[in-house]
Amino acid sequence: MRQIILDTETTGLDPAQGHRIVELACVEMVNRTLTGNHLHLYLNPDRDSDPEALAVHGLTTDFLSGHPRFEDVVQQFVDFVRDGELIIHNAAFDCRFLNAELQRVGLPRVEELCATVTDSLLFARELHPGKRNSLDALCERYGISNAHRTLHGALLDSELLADVWLAMTRGQDALLMDFEEDAETVSTGGSLGQGRVDTSVLRVVAASEAEAAQHEAYLEVLDKAVKGQCIWRAYEPVAAEERAAE
């Protein structure tokens, strides 16, 4: 499964008023793992940014004038997103601008270029109704550091959103499925059943206090993400009883 986490910065709020994209970033994730492959473009919009937009992204007209226009690099964008799932925070906004840019050069809408578009803001609102679900708020909720985010930047925001998306969609189902598949493999004489492991010679390394504290902090974030249904928490009383019996 190939997913593309995307973000843009623009000269203003409405492409119908002539506003343009000034920065575009895409971060690739395959099977829930960031690949390190990304696309990051600054774009010359041939116009000034509104003062409010400039205060958000800090990309001046002078800086952007030395960069290519959208039509000069559009093929890079098309090749990068083609047939992937786009994950965008407030997707309606970014897609409106992307489609305006694509229309100018005679290309199909972004929804036709990629497999699907997923709005992480709508997902977050369903997951956390009645709460703030901006990118900053979600970073705080899931313990993701955004201290280095003084201005909005498309690449940094895409990387933060990738971490947020992984945290929001992290659950126990995949783990349980892995256990079930492993059990079936053993019962049917698969590769796991062929091994001969003498567990008595395995070295046991106890976690340090710092490692235990990090583990506890991770479980706190995980428990919040799955609304108190973290499977590891359910086994903690059992583990405590077993340790007491030793």
Hey, which residues are catalytic here? 152
| Residues in CB range of 5: below 8 A, 6 or more apart | 26, 27, 29, 87, 88, 158, 159, 161, 162, 165
Are 9 and 56 in contact by the 8 Å Cβ rule? The answer is: yes
| Residue tagged 């925070």 (tokens) | 89
> What does the block give as tokens for 27?
């971060």
Q: Which helix (H) or strand (E) holds 119?
A: strand 116-119
Instruction: Measure CA 74 to chain center.
Output: 23
Q: What tokens does 87 get?
A: 């994950």
If you count them, how many residues does the chain have?
A: 246
> Is there a contact between 77 and 101 (Cβ–Cβ < 8 Å)?
no
Per-residue CA distances from 26 to 39, 72, 201 (Å): 5, 17, 48
Strand partners, 34: 29
Other C-beta atoms lying within 10 Å of the C-beta of residue 6 = 29
Q: What is the DSSP letter of 115?
A: S
